Structures are given as C-alpha cells and as structure tokens.
Structure 1
Amino acid sequence: MAFSRDIFSRSICIVLSLVILFSLPEKVHSELSLLPPQKGMCYVTWDKDQFASKYSDESLAKLASMGVEYVSVCITHYQEKYDSTKIIETERTPSKKSIKHVIGKSHELGMNIMMKPHIDLIDKGDGTYWRADIGSATEKGWTKWFEEYRKFILAYAVMAEKMDVEVFCVGTELSFASQRTDEWKSIISEIRKVYSGKLVYAANWDNFKNIDFWQDLDYVGIDAYFPLTYSTNPSLEDLKNGWRKWKNEIGAWRSAVDKPVLFTEIGYACTPEAPYSPWKVASSGNADTNIQALCYKAFFEVIWNEPWFAGVYWWKWDTNVRSGGRYNRQFTPQNKPAQKIIEAHYKGGGHDNVYARAR
C-alpha cells in the first residue's frame, strides 16, 4: 500500500507540474525576459580611423544624451562585382583598432552595441546591382563565396565576443544569397560556437518572408524601408495609414515565426520621395526636413508600442556631431526636427505592452 500511495503521489505531482507548465505564457517557456525596445541608431563611417577620433567620441556622447541605448556599429567590406568571390577591406573600411574604440567608448557611455558587418559592391554596374544581388550562377561559385563569407563574418563574431557586444548581425540585405538556407544555418551554428550574445539577420523590407532560418536566430531583423504612401503631399494620417498596412502584415506573419522583430535599419531622406521610396539616396533640390519628421512621427505612433516590436535602428548618425541641419537632404536626423522626435520617444520610455524578448 505504501508503494501504491507513493506511485499515486508521484503521479499527482507530475500531473500538477504539467498543468502549471502548460498554463504558463509561451514567453516563459522560451525563457524570455521582459525588456523595453532597443532604442537604437546606426553609427557609420567610411574612413579607416574616424571611429577613434575625438569627434566621434563627441558624437557618441550626444547619442547617449538623447536616450539612445543601442549603437549599431556598421562595418563595410567590399567585393568587386555581384558575382565575385573575394571579400576585401578598402580605405573605406574602419580599422579593427577604431572599431574596438567605438565599442569601448559606447559601453563607457552606458550604451549597448549591435555589430553589423555590411558588404557593398565596388562595381555596381551603373547602379544596376547592389548587395541583394550578390551570388553565383554556379555551385562552385556559391561554395567559394560562402567560404569567404564564413571567414569574414566569423572574424567579427570573435571580436564581438571579446568586446562583450550585445547583439551580432550575421548578414545584411543579402537577398539572393539568403535563399541558400543550409549554408546560413551552418554559418549561424559556427557563430554560436564563438559568440554568446544574441543573433539577428537584417533582411531587406521586401524579403523578410522568404528567409527560412529565422528559427536559428534570436530576432527577426528587417531593414524597414517600407513605402508608406504615393501621395505627393502626405499628411501625418496618410503616413500612419501606410504603416498600419505593414503593421498588420508583419504582425500576422510574425505569429507563425514567433520571434520578436527588430527594425535593424530604417530611415528617410529629406526629400519629397521619402514616403514612397524611403531607400532612395537624396540627390538635388531643396531639403524638406518636415517630411522626414512626419515619417518618423508616423512610425512612433503606429509601430513603437506593438507587442511584437523589439526595437529600431535609425539610418544614420555621423561621427561629426555637427552634421545634418536644415539644408541637409540626406538621411541623417542630426540637427533636424526628426532628432527631437527621436529624443522625445527614447527618453519618454518604452512599450505600453512589452513583448518578452530573447536576451
């Protein structure tokens, strides 16, 4: 009888444990913790040593004063053409010494780091090609390219681990190459062996649904240059309606993936085209800082408090704190109305409803 009672007691304990386990929210099952969204900024240079300059230190201090909590350190390497298999540094690639300096300085100022290595093309074929087209027509070419990419990305993953980098981006906007799921899974597995932080891939806005290795990562990453409206003189409500469409689409898709979503890059130039071609680099004409500010405001009012949203990184902040200004047509929000909008939201708190994010 004692043996029977023991078996019965154990059975009851097991049943109760299972009831408790399956009544817990799914986010607890995933061992996720409640965190505010990442209040980020993309930090860039196309100079060997600028990240280690006193001007850069001053610019980082300004970011910290604005409530920025995550700095995306963007590091660009190059390949000659879209089908080349050699990834190289140029005089426009930040030196390892300067990268270590900018990471250390950001940490000293209380900010976290996302390391985001990029690959650009030297020969873009008169603008026909960009990094999304990188790839090969042959299996031999793919093998060579992934061998080169593996060496490139693992070197930065090792540095990220040594520098206590919080988030590491395994790739950026490599739409054609991202179809090679097995190769990416292998690379991600190798990165996990040398880097203990959180991983993300930055998919282009029109390609995030085509990625089949999200489950190997901690975040879904989207470079979120979504067209919002084709109106030539949009109101704030027009822009918000554009975001509502994408909010619903991302939210519905994300429920199947069950990963928090980072906007690993997003930005708007000060041009009339920004609402419908936000990826377009400014060329000529007068600066319209108001349309940039409206695009920022629409984002914060529609996306910022979504429960699946894990944070945003604005493109881009320059190492010169005095960059930008009212006559500047480029992407930077520096010294423009958009800067004040960022600061108001970053210093004003996080989500109303906070999603449980991997950490």
Structure 2
Amino acid sequence: MHLPYIAGMTWGWTGVRGTWTGDAAKHSMTLMAQRLHVNWTAITFAAHQDTAWSTTIHYEDEPTVTDDEIRTAISQAHNLGLQVCLKPVVNVSDGTWRAHINFFDHDVPCEPTWGQWFDSYTRFIVHYARIAEDMNVAMFCIGCEMVNTDRRANQWRDVIHAVRQVYSGLITYNCDKYQEDNVTWWDAVDVISSSGYYPHGTWDTELDRIENVVRRENKPFFFMEAGCPSREGSQHLPNDWNLVGEPSGAAQAQWYDDAFHACDTRPWVRGFMLWDWPAHLYHPDEAATNDDYCLYEKPAERTVRKYYDAHRQ
C-alpha cells in the first residue's frame, strides 16, 4: 500500500470540553494550516480512567470534549482542505502516564482484569470509530503509547476487528518511542506509527532499528507524534515536558533540523503528525517565553513549513 506523504500537525490536545468551538479554536486551526502548510491534522483528545488499574473509561464525562465538538473540529479541518486522523487517547486522572495501565496476566478473583479493561476500551474506541466513519475521516488511531497493553496481542486484534465493523478508513496504532519492534500485531493495522521523541544525535540508530520492522511487516510507516519543547536541553530529551530549562527556540529548531535531516535519508518514513498545536494559542508576543511544544511564532515554525513545502504532495 502506498501512503501519500503526511505533512501533519496534532491539533486540540488534550481536548478539554468547551474549548474546541468558538472563534479562538477556529482561529487556531486556521493559523495551523496557513503557517505550517500542513495537509493532514490529527484531531486528538483524551478520555479518563481513574487510576492505572481502573477498568472504566469515562469518555462521556467532563473534561473530555463532546461528540459535537469533535464533529465541529473535523468539519473545520475538512473545510481547510486537510485530511484528518481522529485520535482518541486514554489518560489516567491521577496523572499516571497511560503506558503504566496494567493488570495481572492471569485473572485473580476480586482483582481487576485485562478482560474488563478491554471491554470498556472497546466501547470507548468503537464509539469514536463510528464518528470517524460518519465524518469521512481518512485515518483512525486505535491507541496511543499503551506500552503495558502492547503484549495483549489477541485483545488488540479483537479491538481492531470491532473497529473495522464500523469504520472503513485506514487504521493505525501509535506505539511509544523505542517500542516499534516490541509490538507483535502490526499485521492487523493498515499503517504502523510511533512517537518519534528521539534525542538529538540518535536518530540514525533508531531509524535503523525501525527500518527492520517496516521491512519485515511490509507496511507504510509515519511518526504519529514527534516534537520537542522550545527549552534549553530539550533537544537531548524531547519527551520530557517537565525538563527544567530556559525557553529556547534555538534548541527546538536544532532538534527539528536533526530529525528531518535523518529522516530524509529514509524514504519509507512517510511523514509526521507533529506535536502539537493547541486549540487556544498563546499571544504572538509570548512566543519567546513559551517553552512548550507548540511552534507558533518560533524559529522551528519556519523549519517545519519549509520542510513540508518540499515534501507534501
């Protein structure tokens, strides 16, 4: 399968109810399209479970965006000429990273089980797969960085089967960094994707490793997430959003230059869905002091625009 180049950006994280409609959100997405010259966006939001061992995902409750907000965001993206990947994500309310969601491999009476969790997860993900189908969304992401769940291959295959009953577009799974060669069920999805938060100077080594997976599976690949905060030192640890450092647009731009240069030698890397562009942007005057991932009015914004202009089809 040939995958046209994805010159993309993630929009709307974390999907807080009440923030995806109105002038600010519309202005944000419009600026993203105009300034970065993207041809795709990942409309991305989170639903919550209480703890890493809870078995109920509260996707209908606050703070998760409503279905109407999701439909509005998809419609705006389509009106801007963008292809959409809808990406529902599970977060843990107590702040534990979703990669640590975990249960005993063998069921124990009175303890929460993988079966209970996957039942809830399937209801959650199929709900949004139906919206993706109704809204003619080109790609659907069935999960993000669920490291401890990755070993549950049969249950993930069941999730994908359930999604395919209601959704006819491309299906991907966003594995975490360094996990590309640990997922054993890539054959069940249409597109392999991962989070490309690799430190400056290490991209060639990691791409060598990922290339073995892509060739073995004979599937298209892109980075469903990739980015770096605009903060001193973040180019060496781009996945750490709590890293202490002074704001630095130069550090962010250095990371992007390195990542793009390395990936340019690998034609099997079919693009990026960069991280990230919020629904409500900071004021342009605040760009120099903003140390988050967003590129708005920072040096790396020009880097991305130039790169996407050269690669988009």
Q: Report the alpha carbon displacement of residue 197 of structure 1 after superposing the two structures with TM.
A: 0.4
| Residue 6 of structure 2, aligned match among 23, 38, 44 | 38
- Superposed CA deviations along residues 87-134 of structure 1, whole A, max 9, x for unmatched, are 11443211111110000000011001111111111123xxxx410111
Q: Report the alpha carbon displacement of residue 328 of structure 1 after superposing the two structures with TM.
A: 0.7
1:267 and 2:267 equivalent? Answer: no
| Residue 179 of structure 1, aligned match among 151, 155, 171 | 151
Q: Report the alpha carbon displacement of residue 350 of structure 1 after superposing the two structures with TM.
A: 3.8
**Do the aligned residues in 2 keep the contact of 1:221 with 1:262 (CA within 8 Å)?**
yes
Q: Distance in 2 between matches of 1:47 and 1:83?
A: 23
- Give the percent of matched residue pairs that are identical in Structure 1 and Structure 2: 26
- Superposed CA deviations along residues 28-78 of structure 1, whole A, max 9, x for unmatched, are xxxx34x54101101124421221121111111112213111111111001
**Do the aligned residues in 2 keep the contact of 1:322 with 1:335 (CA within 8 Å)?**
no
TM-score between the two structures when normalised by the length of structure 2: 0.92
Secondary structure class of the residue paired with 2:274: strand
**Do the aligned residues in 2 keep the contact of 1:39 with 1:68 (CA within 8 Å)?**
yes
Secondary structure class of the residue paired with 1:298: helix
Secondary structure class of the residue paired with 1:170: strand
Secondary structure class of the residue paired with 1:149: helix
Q: Distance in 2 between matches of 1:64 and 1:340?
A: 13
Secondary structure class of the residue paired with 1:50: coil
- Tell me what 2:167 maps to: 195
- Tell me what 1:120 maps to: 91
Secondary structure class of the residue paired with 1:169: strand
Secondary structure class of the residue paired with 1:292: helix
**Do the aligned residues in 1 keep the contact of 2:5 with 2:311 (CA within 8 Å)?**
no
Q: Report the alpha carbon displacement of residue 271 of structure 1 after superposing the two structures with TM.
A: 2.2
- Superposed CA deviations along residues 126-153 of structure 1, whole A, max 9, x for unmatched, are xxx4101112125361111010000000
Which deviates the most, 108-117 or 272-281?
Answer: 272-281
**Do the aligned residues in 2 keep the contact of 1:270 with 1:282 (CA within 8 Å)?**
no
Structure having the higher Rg:
1
The residue type paired with residue 203 of structure 2 is W
Any residues of structure 2 matched to 1:259-298 within 5 Å, and which? 259-282=219-242, 284-298=244-258
Q: Distance in 2 between matches of 1:207 and 1:258?
A: 17
**Do the aligned residues in 2 keep the contact of 1:62 with 1:321 (CA within 8 Å)?**
no
Q: Which runs of 5 or more structure 2 residues have no equivalent in the other structure?
A: none
Which deviates the most, 164-173 or 204-213?
Answer: 204-213
The residue type paired with residue 160 of structure 2 is I
The residue type paired with residue 303 of structure 1 is C
Q: Distance in 1 between matches of 2:213 and 2:233?
A: 28
- Tell me what 1:57 maps to: 26
Any residues of structure 2 matched to 1:1-359 within 5 Å, and which? 32-33=1-2, 35-45=3-13, 46-65=15-34, 66-89=36-59, 90-124=61-95, 129-137=96-104, 138-139=106-107, 141-228=113-200, 239=201, 242-282=202-242, 284-304=244-264, 306-322=266-282, 325-350=287-312
The residue type paired with residue 137 of structure 2 is V
Q: Report the alpha carbon displacement of residue 226 of structure 1 after superposing the two structures with TM.
A: 1.8
Secondary structure class of the residue paired with 1:247: helix
Going from structure 1 to structure 2, the CA distance change for 1:97 and 1:79 (only over 3 Å counts) comes to same
The residue type paired with residue 120 of structure 2 is E
TM-score between the two structures when normalised by the length of structure 1: 0.80
**Do the aligned residues in 2 keep the contact of 1:305 with 1:350 (CA within 8 Å)?**
no
Secondary structure class of the residue paired with 2:130: helix
